[in-house]
Amino acid sequence: MPRRRNGTGTLKALIQELANRHPWLSIVPALSGPNSAPGCEHGTAAEVAARNGPWEDHDFFISGTPEMVRGSLHTLNRLHIPTQQVRYYSFVDVDLR
């Protein structure tokens, strides 16, 4: 059962509403794990983005673990995306136990 707060919908519904309000925004659900789901493309976010280009006139913001950020930057470099169109932030998991 999706988690909800009073007065809000599911995350999927909120993201879809954002896309509905902004025609320039495309939402492409992606799963990189071994299992797939209806309506989702398979692969990392960068792999799925690469298949859904062209991206030459777009800006990018990448956030994730260092491994995810490195992989995404490598993919954008392979697609010849100028570095001035890319911003990124990496974070690490912290075990608070």
Q: Can you list the domains of the chain with their CATH numbers?
A: 11-90 (3.40.50.80)
Q: In the prediction, which pLDDT does 56 show?
A: 83
Encoding tokens for residue 21?
């309000």
Look at the alpha carbons of 36, 26, 89, 96 in this order and tell me if their dihedral is positive or negative. Answer: negative
Dihedral sign (CA 80, 84, 86, 92): positive
- pLDDT per residue over 62-75, tens digit each? 888 898 899 999 99
* Residue 2 pLDDT class (50, 70, 90 cuts): low
- Say what the pLDDT of residue 11 is: 81
More confident residue, 53 or 95: 53
Q: What percent of the chain has pLDDT over 90?
A: 24
- Identify each DSSP E strand in 23-90 by its residue range: 30-31, 41-42, 60-64, 86-90
**Residue 17: alpha-carbon gap to chain centroid:** 17
